[in-house]
Amino acid sequence: MADDGAGIPPEILPHVFERFARADDSRAHSAAHSTGLGLAIVKAVIEGFGGTASVHSAPGDTRFRITLPLAGRP
């Protein structure tokens, strides 16, 4: 998934997959309704299947990458 918005603040980026991590409320109109659990849940589910979740973010280019192992491989 890619986004061309403002990006994730550099101080939040290392913590984006942690529970309750949220960007500054002034940066996102829906942050007031966020619990900060969505990406933590995504990471837990992906890792439960033996995969990884990562993010790269810069202004105008934020990308989330999810990798999963092929079926039938240990």
31: Cα separation from own chain's centroid: 14
Pick the CATH number of 2-67 from 3.30.565.10, 2.60.40.10, 3.10.450.40, 3.40.50.2300: 3.30.565.10
Distance CA 17, CA 25 (A): 17
Domain definitions of the chain by residue range: 2-67
CA atoms within 13 A on the CB side of 61: 2
pLDDT for 7 equals 87
Which residues is 25 bridged to in the sheet?
none
Q: Mind listing the pLDDT tens digit for each residue in 15-53? A: 999 998 877 555 454 555 678 898 999 999 999 999 999
Phi, psi of 39 (to 5 degrees): -70, -30
